[in-house]
Structure 1
Amino acid sequence: MPAPDAVWRAPTSDSGKFFCVRRRFSRGAITIAVIVIVLAVAITAGVYVLLQRAKPFVAGENCQVTTPRGSLTLEIEQAEIAATIAAVAERRRLPQRAVVIAYATALQESKMLNLPFGDRDSVGIFQQRPSQGWGTPKQLLDPVYATRKFFAALVEVENYQKMPLHEAAQAVQRSADGTAYAQHEEDAKILAAAFTGRVPKALHCWFPPPKDSEQAEPRTDRARKELVRALGNTAFSDGKISARSTRRGWLIAAWSVAHAQRYGLRTVRYQGLVWSAEDGHAGWVEDPEATARHVRLT
Protein backbone atom coordinates (compact mmCIF):
# COMPACT_ATOMS: atom_id res chain seq x y z
CA MET A 1 0.00 0.00 0.00
CA PRO A 2 1.41 3.42 -0.84
CA ALA A 3 2.25 5.98 1.79
CA PRO A 4 -0.49 8.41 2.96
CA ASP A 5 1.11 11.35 1.16
CA ALA A 6 0.91 9.63 -2.25
CA VAL A 7 -1.39 11.01 -4.94
CA TRP A 8 -3.24 8.51 -7.12
CA ARG A 9 -3.18 8.97 -10.87
CA ALA A 10 -5.33 7.44 -13.59
CA PRO A 11 -4.19 4.17 -15.20
CA THR A 12 -1.71 4.38 -18.05
CA SER A 13 -2.95 3.62 -21.52
CA ASP A 14 -0.47 0.76 -21.96
CA SER A 15 -0.60 -1.32 -18.83
CA GLY A 16 -3.95 -0.39 -17.36
CA LYS A 17 -2.26 -0.30 -13.97
CA PHE A 18 -2.40 2.53 -11.45
CA PHE A 19 0.70 4.33 -10.49
CA CYS A 20 1.36 6.95 -7.84
CA VAL A 21 3.63 9.92 -7.40
CA ARG A 22 4.94 10.43 -3.89
CA ARG A 23 4.56 14.02 -2.59
CA ARG A 24 6.49 15.17 0.44
CA PHE A 25 5.31 18.05 2.65
CA SER A 26 7.62 19.91 4.98
CA ARG A 27 6.71 20.49 8.60
CA GLY A 28 6.61 24.24 7.90
CA ALA A 29 4.04 23.80 5.16
CA ILE A 30 1.89 21.62 7.40
CA THR A 31 2.05 24.19 10.20
CA ILE A 32 0.97 27.00 7.85
CA ALA A 33 -1.89 24.88 6.54
CA VAL A 34 -3.11 24.19 10.08
CA ILE A 35 -2.95 27.90 10.97
CA VAL A 36 -4.93 28.82 7.84
CA ILE A 37 -7.60 26.25 8.69
CA VAL A 38 -7.87 27.47 12.30
CA LEU A 39 -8.17 31.09 11.17
CA ALA A 40 -10.81 30.18 8.60
CA VAL A 41 -12.88 28.39 11.23
CA ALA A 42 -12.52 31.30 13.67
CA ILE A 43 -13.55 33.87 11.04
CA THR A 44 -16.52 31.75 9.99
CA ALA A 45 -17.65 31.41 13.61
CA GLY A 46 -17.27 35.16 14.16
CA VAL A 47 -19.30 36.02 11.08
CA TYR A 48 -22.00 33.55 12.16
CA VAL A 49 -22.27 35.18 15.61
CA LEU A 50 -22.49 38.65 14.10
CA LEU A 51 -25.19 37.55 11.68
CA GLN A 52 -27.15 35.94 14.49
CA ARG A 53 -26.94 39.08 16.60
CA ALA A 54 -27.92 41.23 13.62
CA LYS A 55 -30.72 38.90 12.57
CA PRO A 56 -33.60 41.08 13.87
CA PHE A 57 -32.36 44.02 11.83
CA VAL A 58 -32.14 41.84 8.74
CA ALA A 59 -35.81 41.01 9.35
CA GLY A 60 -36.67 44.73 9.46
CA GLU A 61 -39.00 45.53 12.34
CA ASN A 62 -40.74 43.17 14.72
CA CYS A 63 -41.50 42.44 18.35
CA GLN A 64 -40.77 39.38 20.45
CA VAL A 65 -42.87 38.10 23.34
CA THR A 66 -41.20 35.64 25.70
CA THR A 67 -42.96 34.01 28.67
CA PRO A 68 -42.67 30.68 30.51
CA ARG A 69 -45.50 29.40 28.29
CA GLY A 70 -43.55 30.13 25.09
CA SER A 71 -42.46 32.80 22.64
CA LEU A 72 -44.18 34.62 19.79
CA THR A 73 -42.97 37.01 17.10
CA LEU A 74 -45.33 39.89 16.31
CA GLU A 75 -45.56 42.68 13.81
CA ILE A 76 -45.31 46.05 15.55
CA GLU A 77 -48.96 46.81 14.71
CA GLN A 78 -49.99 43.54 16.36
CA ALA A 79 -48.00 44.46 19.47
CA GLU A 80 -49.65 47.89 19.58
CA ILE A 81 -53.11 46.33 19.41
CA ALA A 82 -52.27 43.68 21.99
CA ALA A 83 -51.03 46.40 24.35
CA THR A 84 -54.20 48.44 23.77
CA ILE A 85 -56.46 45.48 24.53
CA ALA A 86 -54.60 44.82 27.79
CA ALA A 87 -54.81 48.50 28.79
CA VAL A 88 -58.56 48.70 28.13
CA ALA A 89 -59.09 45.51 30.15
CA GLU A 90 -57.05 46.98 33.01
CA ARG A 91 -59.17 50.12 32.97
CA ARG A 92 -62.32 48.01 33.25
CA ARG A 93 -60.67 45.80 35.90
CA LEU A 94 -61.42 42.70 33.90
CA PRO A 95 -59.87 39.30 34.68
CA GLN A 96 -57.11 37.83 32.57
CA ARG A 97 -59.59 35.37 31.06
CA ALA A 98 -61.34 38.28 29.35
CA VAL A 99 -58.04 39.38 27.81
CA VAL A 100 -57.33 35.84 26.58
CA ILE A 101 -60.77 35.65 24.93
CA ALA A 102 -60.23 39.06 23.28
CA TYR A 103 -56.82 38.03 21.94
CA ALA A 104 -58.07 34.73 20.54
CA THR A 105 -60.96 36.55 18.86
CA ALA A 106 -58.72 39.22 17.33
CA LEU A 107 -56.22 36.62 16.10
CA GLN A 108 -58.99 34.71 14.32
CA GLU A 109 -60.86 37.70 12.94
CA SER A 110 -58.00 39.89 11.70
CA LYS A 111 -54.69 38.31 12.79
CA MET A 112 -54.76 41.17 15.30
CA LEU A 113 -54.45 43.83 12.61
CA ASN A 114 -56.66 46.91 12.21
CA LEU A 115 -58.17 45.98 8.86
CA PRO A 116 -60.18 48.64 6.98
CA PHE A 117 -62.12 45.90 5.16
CA GLY A 118 -63.67 42.48 5.76
CA ASP A 119 -66.62 40.25 5.02
CA ARG A 120 -69.53 42.45 3.94
CA ASP A 121 -69.21 45.62 6.05
CA SER A 122 -66.91 44.18 8.74
CA VAL A 123 -63.89 46.29 9.75
CA GLY A 124 -61.25 46.55 12.44
CA ILE A 125 -59.47 44.15 14.75
CA PHE A 126 -62.63 42.28 15.76
CA GLN A 127 -64.29 42.62 12.33
CA GLN A 128 -67.30 44.31 13.88
CA ARG A 129 -70.10 45.36 11.53
CA PRO A 130 -71.59 48.87 11.52
CA SER A 131 -74.85 47.39 10.19
CA GLN A 132 -75.10 45.27 13.35
CA GLY A 133 -74.94 48.28 15.65
CA TRP A 134 -71.30 48.14 16.71
CA GLY A 135 -70.57 51.71 15.61
CA THR A 136 -69.51 53.68 12.57
CA PRO A 137 -66.62 52.43 10.40
CA LYS A 138 -64.47 55.29 11.70
CA GLN A 139 -65.20 54.35 15.30
CA LEU A 140 -64.55 50.67 14.73
CA LEU A 141 -61.16 51.45 13.18
CA ASP A 142 -60.13 52.98 16.50
CA PRO A 143 -58.64 50.03 18.49
CA VAL A 144 -59.56 51.62 21.82
CA TYR A 145 -63.22 52.06 20.82
CA ALA A 146 -63.45 48.61 19.20
CA THR A 147 -61.97 46.95 22.29
CA ARG A 148 -64.34 48.77 24.62
CA LYS A 149 -67.29 47.56 22.53
CA PHE A 150 -65.99 43.99 22.54
CA PHE A 151 -65.56 43.90 26.32
CA ALA A 152 -68.94 45.58 26.87
CA ALA A 153 -70.55 42.70 24.98
CA LEU A 154 -68.38 40.01 26.58
CA VAL A 155 -69.26 40.91 30.18
CA GLU A 156 -72.92 40.51 29.28
CA VAL A 157 -72.31 36.82 28.51
CA GLU A 158 -73.29 34.86 31.59
CA ASN A 159 -70.45 32.79 33.08
CA TYR A 160 -68.11 33.73 30.22
CA GLN A 161 -65.08 33.09 32.44
CA LYS A 162 -66.02 29.45 33.01
CA MET A 163 -67.24 28.42 29.58
CA PRO A 164 -64.94 27.18 26.78
CA LEU A 165 -63.16 30.06 25.10
CA HIS A 166 -64.71 29.53 21.68
CA GLU A 167 -68.21 29.59 23.15
CA ALA A 168 -67.59 32.89 24.93
CA ALA A 169 -66.09 34.45 21.81
CA GLN A 170 -68.91 33.15 19.63
CA ALA A 171 -71.51 34.57 22.00
CA VAL A 172 -70.07 38.01 21.24
CA GLN A 173 -69.13 37.63 17.58
CA ARG A 174 -71.89 35.34 16.24
CA SER A 175 -69.60 34.24 13.40
CA ALA A 176 -70.15 31.48 10.86
CA ASP A 177 -67.82 29.02 12.63
CA GLY A 178 -67.41 29.71 16.33
CA THR A 179 -65.12 26.74 16.91
CA ALA A 180 -62.28 28.50 15.02
CA TYR A 181 -61.49 30.72 18.02
CA ALA A 182 -60.29 27.75 20.06
CA GLN A 183 -57.16 27.23 17.95
CA HIS A 184 -55.70 30.53 19.20
CA GLU A 185 -56.15 29.95 22.92
CA GLU A 186 -52.55 29.00 23.70
CA ASP A 187 -51.09 31.98 21.81
CA ALA A 188 -53.65 34.21 23.50
CA LYS A 189 -52.49 33.03 26.93
CA ILE A 190 -48.87 33.85 26.04
CA LEU A 191 -49.88 37.33 24.91
CA ALA A 192 -52.03 37.94 27.97
CA ALA A 193 -49.22 37.01 30.35
CA ALA A 194 -46.89 39.47 28.61
CA PHE A 195 -49.12 42.48 27.95
CA THR A 196 -51.02 42.50 31.24
CA GLY A 197 -47.69 42.77 33.04
CA ARG A 198 -47.90 39.43 34.80
CA VAL A 199 -44.58 38.41 33.23
CA PRO A 200 -41.97 41.21 33.58
CA LYS A 201 -39.84 42.36 30.62
CA ALA A 202 -41.68 39.92 28.35
CA LEU A 203 -41.82 42.22 25.31
CA HIS A 204 -39.12 43.86 23.27
CA CYS A 205 -39.31 45.43 19.81
CA TRP A 206 -36.77 46.53 17.23
CA PHE A 207 -37.00 48.79 14.22
CA PRO A 208 -34.67 50.93 12.08
CA PRO A 209 -34.05 54.55 13.13
CA PRO A 210 -36.50 57.09 11.66
CA LYS A 211 -35.47 58.87 8.47
CA ASP A 212 -37.64 61.91 9.16
CA SER A 213 -36.11 64.32 11.70
CA GLU A 214 -39.57 65.17 13.03
CA GLN A 215 -40.30 61.52 13.74
CA ALA A 216 -36.97 61.24 15.54
CA GLU A 217 -38.18 63.65 18.24
CA PRO A 218 -39.77 61.80 21.18
CA ARG A 219 -43.47 62.65 21.48
CA THR A 220 -43.99 61.60 25.08
CA ASP A 221 -47.02 63.87 25.57
CA ARG A 222 -48.85 62.27 22.67
CA ALA A 223 -47.90 58.82 23.94
CA ARG A 224 -49.25 59.67 27.40
CA LYS A 225 -52.56 60.95 25.98
CA GLU A 226 -53.06 57.78 23.95
CA LEU A 227 -52.18 55.63 26.95
CA VAL A 228 -54.73 57.51 29.05
CA ARG A 229 -57.41 56.89 26.39
CA ALA A 230 -56.94 53.16 26.86
CA LEU A 231 -55.82 52.82 30.48
CA GLY A 232 -57.49 55.77 32.17
CA ASN A 233 -55.92 58.57 34.19
CA THR A 234 -52.38 57.99 35.34
CA ALA A 235 -50.06 60.31 37.22
CA PHE A 236 -47.51 61.68 34.76
CA SER A 237 -44.65 64.12 35.29
CA ASP A 238 -41.40 64.86 33.43
CA GLY A 239 -41.69 61.78 31.24
CA LYS A 240 -42.43 59.51 34.21
CA ILE A 241 -45.66 57.53 34.59
CA SER A 242 -46.66 56.40 38.06
CA ALA A 243 -47.03 52.63 38.52
CA ARG A 244 -49.38 51.70 41.37
CA SER A 245 -48.19 48.10 41.30
CA THR A 246 -45.38 46.12 39.70
CA ARG A 247 -47.81 44.32 37.38
CA ARG A 248 -49.40 47.59 36.24
CA GLY A 249 -45.93 49.07 35.79
CA TRP A 250 -44.95 46.26 33.41
CA LEU A 251 -48.25 46.68 31.56
CA ILE A 252 -47.38 50.35 31.00
CA ALA A 253 -43.82 49.44 30.05
CA ALA A 254 -45.03 46.88 27.48
CA TRP A 255 -47.51 49.41 26.07
CA SER A 256 -44.71 51.98 25.77
CA VAL A 257 -42.30 49.62 24.00
CA ALA A 258 -45.04 48.49 21.60
CA HIS A 259 -45.81 52.13 20.72
CA ALA A 260 -42.19 53.34 20.76
CA GLN A 261 -41.86 53.53 16.98
CA ARG A 262 -45.16 55.41 16.60
CA TYR A 263 -44.24 58.07 19.16
CA GLY A 264 -40.48 58.24 18.66
CA LEU A 265 -39.66 56.87 22.11
CA ARG A 266 -35.97 56.05 22.43
CA THR A 267 -35.89 54.46 25.89
CA VAL A 268 -38.34 52.92 28.35
CA ARG A 269 -37.08 52.46 31.92
CA TYR A 270 -38.66 50.53 34.77
CA GLN A 271 -37.64 48.54 37.83
CA GLY A 272 -33.88 48.64 37.31
CA LEU A 273 -34.09 47.83 33.59
CA VAL A 274 -34.13 49.71 30.31
CA TRP A 275 -35.24 48.97 26.77
CA SER A 276 -33.50 51.08 24.12
CA ALA A 277 -34.63 51.64 20.53
CA GLU A 278 -31.01 51.80 19.43
CA ASP A 279 -30.47 48.22 20.59
CA GLY A 280 -34.03 46.96 20.65
CA HIS A 281 -33.21 43.38 19.71
CA ALA A 282 -31.16 43.06 22.93
CA GLY A 283 -34.30 43.37 25.03
CA TRP A 284 -34.23 44.70 28.59
CA VAL A 285 -30.86 45.32 30.23
CA GLU A 286 -29.85 46.54 33.67
CA ASP A 287 -29.99 50.29 34.28
CA PRO A 288 -29.35 52.01 37.64
CA GLU A 289 -31.50 55.00 36.62
CA ALA A 290 -34.69 52.90 36.35
CA THR A 291 -36.89 52.97 39.45
CA ALA A 292 -39.64 50.66 40.67
CA ARG A 293 -42.20 53.44 41.21
CA HIS A 294 -42.31 54.97 37.74
CA VAL A 295 -42.09 54.00 34.08
CA ARG A 296 -39.88 56.61 32.48
CA LEU A 297 -40.15 57.49 28.78
CA THR A 298 -37.55 59.46 26.82
Structure 2
Amino acid sequence: MPRDRSGPALAESRRPRPTARPARRRRRGPVALLVVLALVAGAAWFAVSAVKGSQQPVCTIRAAGMTETFDPEQTANAALISAIALKRDLPARAATIALTTAYQESKIRNIRFGDRDSLGLFQQRPSQGWGTAEQILDPVYATNKFYDELVKFKGYETADITKIAQRVQRSAYPEAYRDHEGQGRVLASTLSGWSPAGLTCRLDPATSHAPARDVAAALQQQAGVRASGSGTSLTVTAQGGRRAWAVAQWAVANAEGYGINRVSVGDRTWNRADGDRWSAGTATTTVRISLS
Protein backbone atom coordinates (compact mmCIF):
# COMPACT_ATOMS: atom_id res chain seq x y z
CA MET A 1 0.00 0.00 0.00
CA PRO A 2 1.50 3.47 -0.92
CA ARG A 3 2.65 5.48 2.04
CA ASP A 4 0.72 8.63 2.85
CA ARG A 5 3.28 11.37 2.43
CA SER A 6 1.11 14.13 3.67
CA GLY A 7 2.73 13.88 7.11
CA PRO A 8 1.30 14.41 10.56
CA ALA A 9 0.37 18.04 9.99
CA LEU A 10 -1.79 17.30 6.95
CA ALA A 11 -3.40 14.30 8.63
CA GLU A 12 -4.40 16.53 11.56
CA SER A 13 -5.92 19.03 9.13
CA ARG A 14 -8.20 16.34 7.71
CA ARG A 15 -9.70 15.49 11.13
CA PRO A 16 -12.98 17.24 12.17
CA ARG A 17 -12.20 20.14 14.43
CA PRO A 18 -13.84 20.18 17.86
CA THR A 19 -16.77 22.54 18.28
CA ALA A 20 -15.68 25.94 19.44
CA ARG A 21 -16.20 26.86 23.10
CA PRO A 22 -18.63 29.69 22.37
CA ALA A 23 -21.01 27.23 20.67
CA ARG A 24 -20.94 24.95 23.74
CA ARG A 25 -21.77 27.90 25.98
CA ARG A 26 -24.75 28.78 23.78
CA ARG A 27 -26.09 25.23 24.01
CA ARG A 28 -25.85 25.28 27.80
CA GLY A 29 -28.29 28.20 27.97
CA PRO A 30 -31.52 26.20 27.37
CA VAL A 31 -30.26 23.40 29.63
CA ALA A 32 -29.57 25.81 32.45
CA LEU A 33 -33.04 27.33 31.99
CA LEU A 34 -34.64 23.90 32.23
CA VAL A 35 -32.72 23.19 35.44
CA VAL A 36 -33.91 26.47 36.96
CA LEU A 37 -37.50 25.78 35.94
CA ALA A 38 -37.29 22.29 37.45
CA LEU A 39 -35.99 23.71 40.73
CA VAL A 40 -38.75 26.32 40.81
CA ALA A 41 -41.39 23.67 40.11
CA GLY A 42 -39.96 21.44 42.84
CA ALA A 43 -39.98 24.28 45.35
CA ALA A 44 -43.60 25.08 44.45
CA TRP A 45 -44.61 21.43 44.88
CA PHE A 46 -43.02 21.28 48.34
CA ALA A 47 -44.70 24.57 49.28
CA VAL A 48 -48.13 23.28 48.23
CA SER A 49 -47.51 20.01 50.08
CA ALA A 50 -46.55 21.91 53.21
CA VAL A 51 -49.72 24.00 53.04
CA LYS A 52 -51.88 20.91 52.53
CA GLY A 53 -50.11 19.17 55.38
CA SER A 54 -50.91 22.06 57.70
CA GLN A 55 -54.60 21.97 56.80
CA GLN A 56 -55.50 18.40 57.63
CA PRO A 57 -59.10 17.94 58.77
CA VAL A 58 -59.26 18.62 62.50
CA CYS A 59 -61.93 19.14 65.13
CA THR A 60 -61.41 21.45 68.10
CA ILE A 61 -63.29 21.27 71.39
CA ARG A 62 -63.27 24.18 73.83
CA ALA A 63 -64.86 23.89 77.25
CA ALA A 64 -64.11 24.78 80.87
CA GLY A 65 -61.04 26.75 79.86
CA MET A 66 -59.52 23.78 78.01
CA THR A 67 -58.88 23.24 74.32
CA GLU A 68 -58.37 19.81 72.80
CA THR A 69 -58.04 18.71 69.16
CA PHE A 70 -59.08 15.43 67.60
CA ASP A 71 -59.34 14.07 64.09
CA PRO A 72 -62.81 13.52 62.58
CA GLU A 73 -62.77 9.77 63.28
CA GLN A 74 -62.10 10.28 66.98
CA THR A 75 -64.68 13.06 67.20
CA ALA A 76 -67.42 11.00 65.53
CA ASN A 77 -66.75 8.08 67.88
CA ALA A 78 -66.81 10.41 70.88
CA ALA A 79 -70.14 11.86 69.69
CA LEU A 80 -71.56 8.33 69.47
CA ILE A 81 -70.46 7.50 73.03
CA SER A 82 -71.97 10.73 74.36
CA ALA A 83 -75.18 10.37 72.33
CA ILE A 84 -75.86 6.89 73.65
CA ALA A 85 -75.54 8.19 77.21
CA LEU A 86 -78.19 10.81 76.40
CA LYS A 87 -80.44 8.23 74.78
CA ARG A 88 -80.25 6.13 77.94
CA ASP A 89 -80.92 9.23 80.11
CA LEU A 90 -77.58 8.82 81.84
CA PRO A 91 -75.86 11.84 83.40
CA ALA A 92 -72.98 13.60 81.64
CA ARG A 93 -70.73 11.97 84.27
CA ALA A 94 -71.40 8.60 82.64
CA ALA A 95 -70.23 9.98 79.30
CA THR A 96 -67.14 11.45 80.98
CA ILE A 97 -66.22 8.04 82.40
CA ALA A 98 -66.85 6.27 79.10
CA LEU A 99 -64.91 8.83 77.05
CA THR A 100 -61.98 8.84 79.49
CA THR A 101 -61.87 5.06 79.27
CA ALA A 102 -62.09 5.00 75.47
CA TYR A 103 -59.34 7.60 75.19
CA GLN A 104 -57.00 5.54 77.35
CA GLU A 105 -57.87 2.23 75.72
CA SER A 106 -57.93 3.12 72.01
CA LYS A 107 -57.53 6.90 71.62
CA ILE A 108 -61.28 6.71 70.76
CA ARG A 109 -60.66 4.62 67.64
CA ASN A 110 -62.49 1.44 66.75
CA ILE A 111 -59.35 -0.64 66.35
CA ARG A 112 -59.24 -4.31 65.41
CA PHE A 113 -56.28 -5.24 67.61
CA GLY A 114 -54.98 -4.89 71.15
CA ASP A 115 -53.47 -6.72 74.10
CA ARG A 116 -54.29 -10.41 73.74
CA ASP A 117 -57.87 -10.51 72.37
CA SER A 118 -58.79 -6.89 73.17
CA LEU A 119 -60.78 -5.08 70.46
CA GLY A 120 -62.67 -1.92 69.66
CA LEU A 121 -63.25 1.43 71.30
CA PHE A 122 -62.98 0.08 74.84
CA GLN A 123 -60.59 -2.79 74.11
CA GLN A 124 -63.15 -5.25 75.40
CA ARG A 125 -62.20 -8.91 75.35
CA PRO A 126 -64.38 -11.75 74.04
CA SER A 127 -62.63 -14.05 76.53
CA GLN A 128 -63.94 -11.88 79.41
CA GLY A 129 -67.55 -12.16 78.26
CA TRP A 130 -67.97 -8.80 76.52
CA GLY A 131 -69.37 -10.44 73.39
CA THR A 132 -68.11 -11.83 70.12
CA ALA A 133 -65.36 -10.06 68.18
CA GLU A 134 -67.95 -8.94 65.63
CA GLN A 135 -70.18 -7.49 68.34
CA ILE A 136 -67.36 -5.68 70.11
CA LEU A 137 -66.30 -4.05 66.84
CA ASP A 138 -69.78 -2.54 66.52
CA PRO A 139 -69.37 0.82 68.33
CA VAL A 140 -73.04 1.00 69.31
CA TYR A 141 -72.96 -2.48 70.85
CA ALA A 142 -69.62 -1.87 72.59
CA THR A 143 -70.76 1.44 74.09
CA ASN A 144 -74.02 0.01 75.37
CA LYS A 145 -72.15 -2.91 76.94
CA PHE A 146 -69.85 -0.46 78.71
CA TYR A 147 -72.82 1.46 80.13
CA ASP A 148 -74.56 -1.81 81.07
CA GLU A 149 -71.59 -2.59 83.31
CA LEU A 150 -71.11 0.97 84.57
CA VAL A 151 -74.63 1.40 85.94
CA LYS A 152 -74.25 -1.75 88.04
CA PHE A 153 -71.94 0.16 90.40
CA LYS A 154 -73.86 2.25 92.87
CA GLY A 155 -72.49 5.75 93.26
CA TYR A 156 -70.57 5.80 89.97
CA GLU A 157 -71.80 9.38 89.44
CA THR A 158 -69.48 10.66 92.17
CA ALA A 159 -66.85 7.92 92.23
CA ASP A 160 -63.23 8.54 91.28
CA ILE A 161 -62.98 8.04 87.52
CA THR A 162 -59.87 5.90 87.73
CA LYS A 163 -61.43 3.58 90.28
CA ILE A 164 -64.78 3.22 88.55
CA ALA A 165 -63.23 2.77 85.10
CA GLN A 166 -61.03 0.03 86.51
CA ARG A 167 -64.00 -1.74 88.09
CA VAL A 168 -65.74 -1.79 84.72
CA GLN A 169 -62.73 -2.57 82.54
CA ARG A 170 -60.55 -4.78 84.78
CA SER A 171 -57.48 -3.24 83.17
CA ALA A 172 -53.86 -4.27 83.78
CA TYR A 173 -52.98 -0.54 84.04
CA PRO A 174 -55.67 0.98 86.29
CA GLU A 175 -53.89 4.27 87.05
CA ALA A 176 -53.60 5.16 83.36
CA TYR A 177 -57.22 6.37 83.19
CA ARG A 178 -56.42 9.32 85.42
CA ASP A 179 -54.11 10.77 82.75
CA HIS A 180 -57.01 11.35 80.35
CA GLU A 181 -59.77 12.60 82.62
CA GLY A 182 -59.35 16.11 81.16
CA GLN A 183 -60.05 14.95 77.62
CA GLY A 184 -63.05 12.96 78.84
CA ARG A 185 -64.52 15.96 80.67
CA VAL A 186 -64.10 18.35 77.74
CA LEU A 187 -65.63 15.91 75.27
CA ALA A 188 -68.56 15.04 77.51
CA SER A 189 -69.30 18.66 78.42
CA THR A 190 -69.41 19.73 74.78
CA LEU A 191 -71.06 16.72 73.17
CA SER A 192 -73.70 16.50 75.91
CA GLY A 193 -74.72 20.08 75.22
CA TRP A 194 -73.43 21.64 78.45
CA SER A 195 -70.89 23.79 76.54
CA PRO A 196 -72.82 25.32 73.60
CA ALA A 197 -70.86 25.95 70.41
CA GLY A 198 -67.87 24.20 71.96
CA LEU A 199 -67.13 22.01 68.94
CA THR A 200 -65.92 23.15 65.54
CA CYS A 201 -64.37 21.14 62.70
CA ARG A 202 -62.18 22.40 59.88
CA LEU A 203 -62.78 20.06 56.96
CA ASP A 204 -62.10 19.81 53.25
CA PRO A 205 -65.03 20.56 50.92
CA ALA A 206 -67.36 17.59 50.69
CA THR A 207 -67.33 15.76 47.35
CA SER A 208 -70.40 13.64 48.19
CA HIS A 209 -72.92 13.14 50.96
CA ALA A 210 -74.93 10.36 52.53
CA PRO A 211 -78.68 10.14 51.97
CA ALA A 212 -80.63 12.18 54.51
CA ARG A 213 -82.39 9.02 55.66
CA ASP A 214 -79.04 7.50 56.71
CA VAL A 215 -78.23 10.53 58.88
CA ALA A 216 -81.72 10.39 60.39
CA ALA A 217 -81.32 6.66 61.10
CA ALA A 218 -77.96 7.23 62.84
CA LEU A 219 -79.46 9.99 65.00
CA GLN A 220 -82.31 7.70 65.98
CA GLN A 221 -80.03 4.77 66.77
CA GLN A 222 -77.39 6.69 68.70
CA ALA A 223 -79.24 9.58 70.32
CA GLY A 224 -82.86 8.43 70.24
CA VAL A 225 -83.76 11.58 68.30
CA ARG A 226 -86.24 11.79 65.44
CA ALA A 227 -85.32 13.95 62.45
CA SER A 228 -87.74 15.01 59.72
CA GLY A 229 -87.01 16.11 56.20
CA SER A 230 -85.84 14.74 52.88
CA GLY A 231 -83.43 15.48 50.08
CA THR A 232 -80.47 17.27 51.62
CA SER A 233 -82.09 18.84 54.70
CA LEU A 234 -83.11 17.51 58.12
CA THR A 235 -84.81 19.24 61.04
CA VAL A 236 -84.81 18.18 64.69
CA THR A 237 -87.01 19.77 67.35
CA ALA A 238 -85.22 19.01 70.59
CA GLN A 239 -86.57 18.88 74.11
CA GLY A 240 -84.68 21.83 75.52
CA GLY A 241 -81.69 23.92 74.61
CA ARG A 242 -79.08 21.53 75.95
CA ARG A 243 -80.47 18.66 73.89
CA ALA A 244 -80.51 20.90 70.84
CA TRP A 245 -76.82 21.64 71.26
CA ALA A 246 -76.07 17.95 71.82
CA VAL A 247 -77.76 17.12 68.51
CA ALA A 248 -76.07 19.99 66.70
CA GLN A 249 -72.62 19.06 67.91
CA TRP A 250 -73.26 15.41 67.07
CA ALA A 251 -73.94 16.61 63.51
CA VAL A 252 -70.73 18.67 63.38
CA ALA A 253 -68.76 15.71 64.75
CA ASN A 254 -70.18 13.53 61.97
CA ALA A 255 -69.86 16.11 59.19
CA GLU A 256 -66.84 14.41 57.64
CA GLY A 257 -68.44 10.97 57.47
CA TYR A 258 -71.86 12.04 56.21
CA GLY A 259 -70.92 15.04 54.05
CA ILE A 260 -72.76 17.54 56.25
CA ASN A 261 -72.30 21.09 55.01
CA ARG A 262 -74.09 23.24 57.59
CA VAL A 263 -75.57 22.88 61.07
CA SER A 264 -77.78 25.50 62.73
CA VAL A 265 -79.24 25.90 66.20
CA GLY A 266 -81.73 28.70 65.69
CA ASP A 267 -79.68 31.51 64.13
CA ARG A 268 -76.33 30.15 65.25
CA THR A 269 -74.60 28.29 62.43
CA TRP A 270 -71.53 26.17 61.83
CA ASN A 271 -70.60 26.20 58.15
CA ARG A 272 -68.18 23.73 56.60
CA ALA A 273 -66.64 26.50 54.47
CA ASP A 274 -65.82 28.49 57.63
CA GLY A 275 -65.45 25.64 60.07
CA ASP A 276 -63.46 27.22 62.89
CA ARG A 277 -66.38 29.08 64.45
CA TRP A 278 -70.10 29.28 65.10
CA SER A 279 -71.80 32.43 63.88
CA ALA A 280 -73.37 34.85 66.32
CA GLY A 281 -77.12 34.70 66.79
CA THR A 282 -79.93 33.40 68.96
CA ALA A 283 -80.06 29.69 69.74
CA THR A 284 -83.37 27.82 69.95
CA THR A 285 -84.45 24.20 70.28
CA THR A 286 -84.63 23.74 66.50
CA VAL A 287 -81.65 22.14 64.78
CA ARG A 288 -81.24 22.12 61.01
CA ILE A 289 -78.75 19.87 59.28
CA SER A 290 -77.87 20.51 55.64
CA LEU A 291 -75.99 18.00 53.49
CA SER A 292 -73.71 19.07 50.65
Supply the distance in 2 between the matched residues of 1:293 and 1:233 (Cα, whole angstroms). 13
Residue segments in structure 2 that go unaligned for 5+ positions in a row = 1-50
How far off its partner does 1:218 sit? 5.1
Supply the distance in 2 between the matched residues of 1:107 and 1:218 (Cα, whole angstroms). 28
1:246 partnered with 2:241: yes
Q: Which of 277, 284, 292 lines up with 2:278 in the alignment?
A: 284
How far off its partner does 1:59 sit? 2.9
Task: Please give the secondary structure, in 2, of the residue aligned with 1:285.
Answer: coil
CA distance 1:255–1:57, shift in 2 (3 Å): farther
Aligned twin of 2:288: 296
Aligned letter for 2:245? Answer: W
Supply the distance in 2 between the matched residues of 1:186 and 1:174 (Cα, whole angstroms). 21
Q: Which of 174, 177, 182 lines up with 1:181 in the alignment?
A: 177
Supply the distance in 1 between the matched residues of 2:163 and 2:112 (Cα, whole angstroms). 26
Residue segments in structure 1 that go unaligned for 5+ positions in a row = 1-54
- 2:196, 2:245 within 8 Å by CA — same for their partners in 1? yes
1:81 partnered with 2:77: yes
Task: Please give the secondary structure, in 2, of the residue aligned with 1:90.
Answer: helix
- 1:219, 1:264 within 8 Å by CA — same for their partners in 2? no
Aligned twin of 1:71: 67
- 1:274, 1:285 within 8 Å by CA — same for their partners in 2? yes
Aligned twin of 1:135: 131
Q: Which of 180, 187, 190 lines up with 2:186 in the alignment?
A: 190
Q: Which of 122, 132, 137 lines up with 2:118 in the alignment?
A: 122
Aligned letter for 2:189? Answer: A
Supply the distance in 1 between the matched residues of 2:283 and 2:176 (Cα, whole angstroms). 43
1:268 partnered with 2:263: yes
How far off its partner does 1:57 sit? 7.8
Task: Please give the secondary structure, in 1, of the residue aligned with 2:67.
Answer: strand
Question: What are the Cα deviations for residues 187-237 of structure 1, in whole angstroms up to 9, with x where unaligned?
Answer: 2111111110001010011111244xxxx2453221111111111142523
Supply the distance in 2 between the matched residues of 1:227 and 1:57 (Cα, whole angstroms). 32
Question: What are the Cα deviations for residues 164-208 of structure 1, in whole angstroms up to 9, with x where unaligned?
Answer: 111100001001121111111122111111110001010011111
Question: How does the TM-score come out when normalised to structure 2?
Answer: 0.77
Question: What are the Cα deviations for residues 70-93 of structure 1, in whole angstroms up to 9, with x where unaligned?
Answer: 110011111101111111000111
Structure-to-structure mapping, 1:1-298, within 5 angstroms: 58-211=54-207, 216-217=208-209, 219-238=211-230, 239-281=234-276, 283-286=277-280, 292-298=284-290
Q: How many positions carry a matched residue from both structures?
A: 238
Question: What are the Cα deviations for residues 141-172 of structure 1, in whole angstroms up to 9, with x where unaligned?
Answer: 22111110000000001222222111100001
